[in-house]
Amino acid sequence: MLETIQSQAAPAAVGPYAQAVRHQGTLYLSGQIGLVPATGKLADDTLAGQAQQVMQNLQAVLQAGGCSLTDIIKVNIYLLDMADFPELNTLYAAWLGEHRPARATVAVAALPLGARVEMDVIARYAGDA
């Protein structure tokens, strides 16, 4: 059985999906782009601004699901331009500190609403243990 997770501190889903679902001790977060929850618009047009908003959105959904950054076990990152990879790495390292989950980063042809970056996360949930 899937438990749907919703955070008011992250943008509402823009399609027929949940912000996250929990199943058997694992929290699966849907992709987040750099939408500001209050406005529904991208934070700005820079990679840094959008990436930081993505990370805030993911963190809000993690918290709503009873998890923290150190519970993240896998991150998928989708970049509009691989030239942004070094800058993204710097922002990502600052966000997670010493925590180093598995990760994939791929370049994509386009992202929703003209975003430059999207991320999704899988985290362990120990709340029922």
CA nearest to 55, candidates 125, 124, 102, 118: 118
Q: Which CATH number does the domain housing residue 120 bear?
A: 3.30.1330.40
Indicate the residue type of 77: I
The answer to whether position 107 is within a domain reads yes
Q: pLDDT truncated to tens, each residue of the chain (129 aa)?
A: 899 999 999 999 878 999 999 999 999 999 999 999 999 999 999 999 999 999 999 999 999 999 999 999 999 999 999 999 999 999 999 999 999 999 999 999 999 999 999 999 999 998 754
Domain range for 91: 3-124
The answer to whether position 30 is within a domain reads yes
Give whole-number Cα distances, 129 to 5, 36, 103, 125, in Å: 18, 34, 26, 8
Q: What is the pLDDT of residues 63-78, one digit of tens each?
A: 999 999 999 999 999 9
State the total domains in the chain: 1
